[in-house]
Amino acid sequence: MKRLLPFLALVGVAIAQEKPAVLDLLAQQLTKAEPAAQKNILRGMNAALKGRRGVSAPTNWDALAKQLSASPDQEIRDLTQSLGTIFGSKDAFAALRKTAADPTAETATRLSAIEALVGGKDDQFPPQLKQLIASAGPLRGAAIRGLAAYNENDTIETLMAVYEKLTPEERRDALNTIASRLNWARALIYQLDSGRLPKSDLSVTVARQLRSFKNADLDAALERHLGKINESSADKQADIAKIKAWLTPDYVKSGDPKKGRVLFSQTCALCHKLFDAGAEIGPELTGANRTDIDYLLQNIIDPNALIGADYQFNTIELKDGRILAGLVRGENATTLTVRTMTETVTVPTGDVKTRTVNPISMMPEGLITSQPREAVRDLFRYLGSSQQVASP
């Protein structure tokens, strides 16, 4: 492995300085390397080229890809096909579409195929994505998220046709997809006004993303259904004082940490990790000052009071009209990586039209103000636990 590190490091140089000879050198290594070394080289190439499209393929790539695609190792075959989409190989796109549609293939393999096809912007893939969305299964969420990359006219109809049957996670994916383009977001007004879309399903984060379009009709509809989103800092401090009047340490001790874990899973775990549960979007909570009620209330009720640079909410407008809203997790001369509420997206910097850093936290407001007192008590009891508690 030590001998491979210089080669893997050169991939970054190839991208930054546009030196095809370096990719040719890596391709030569692939022809004579053992399977374990081939996997490491292919992994490095895929990681370095992630988010890129139309990169010039190494010399004799077609012959090499045919050789690697015949490997008995599934990962080598998958990594080779993924690189093929980056190099614009029609054969690679066709093979991946076949894999994504194959019900006998492993779920992880099909998910990797979907990711590669969406990342490569395969223009023949949207009909297949819609078929996957129409059927329940482990691929539906990825297909819903993938549809956001394509400006299809019938996206709203596709998603609303199955909306009532979606899991809570899939509904969140659907709303984030709809909120990513203005033409889809406008159609959302009818869904809200007609009652087909419950206003309770719209999170504050999705509402913020919709407001980033600065469309008068859309803003009016959001205010009509959700009311004013922003409160002044003084209002929030008043809310904190009211809650502190009844959320005393003794009252918190009487809470049920198991029920609190359920509420944590439904709200906080979408972004935060505590013990072994949750996502790694916001800060890790395990080592936080979780027994301090004042500290917790201040951060939950008024998350915008103090925002770390790594957690500032970014709005990225792409040249094809898509909006990405979330945290910037990586950036170089060629790509930008954004962590949204539902996925991590890497796009070429050349696709970015505008980028706005908003002076607000990605953490939504109002997480506990609408909850019953008993539920808030249980949540704080769980947050103050010294170790993980069993789920009820």
The mean pLDDT value for 67-91 works out to 91
Question: How many whole angstroms separate alpha carbon 367 and alpha carbon 264?
Answer: 10
237 and 378 together in one domain:
yes
Last residue of a domain, one of 115, 132, 164: 115
Last residue of a domain, one of 77, 96, 115: 115
Residue 388: pLDDT over 60:
yes
Owning domain of residue 271: 233-303+365-383
Q: Report the pLDDT value the prediction gives residue 13, as an integer from 0 to 100.
A: 54
**41: in domain:** yes
Best-predicted range by mean pLDDT among 157-161, 296-300, 358-362?
157-161
Q: Report the pLDDT value the prediction gives residue 126, as an integer from 0 to 100.
A: 97
**140: in domain:** no
Tens-place pLDDT, residues 33-59: 899 999 988 998 888 888 888 888 888
Of residues 3 and 342, the one with the higher pLDDT is: 342
Q: What is the DSSP string of 216-274?
A: HHHHHHHHHHH------HHHHHHHHHHHHHH--HHHHHTS-HHHHHHHHHHTGGGT-EE
Last residue of a domain, one of 71, 86, 115: 115
CB 325 within 8 A of CB 185: no
Tens-place pLDDT, residues 96-148: 999 999 999 999 999 999 999 998 899 999 999 999 999 999 999 999 999 99
Question: How many whole angstroms separate alpha carbon 149 and alpha carbon 307?
Answer: 30
238 and 379 together in one domain:
yes
Q: What is the DSSP letter of 108?
A: H
**101: in domain:** yes
242 and 106 together in one domain:
no
Q: Report the pLDDT value the prediction gives residue 318, as an integer from 0 to 100.
A: 93
The mean pLDDT value for 173-179 works out to 92
Of residues 19 and 184, the one with the higher pLDDT is: 184
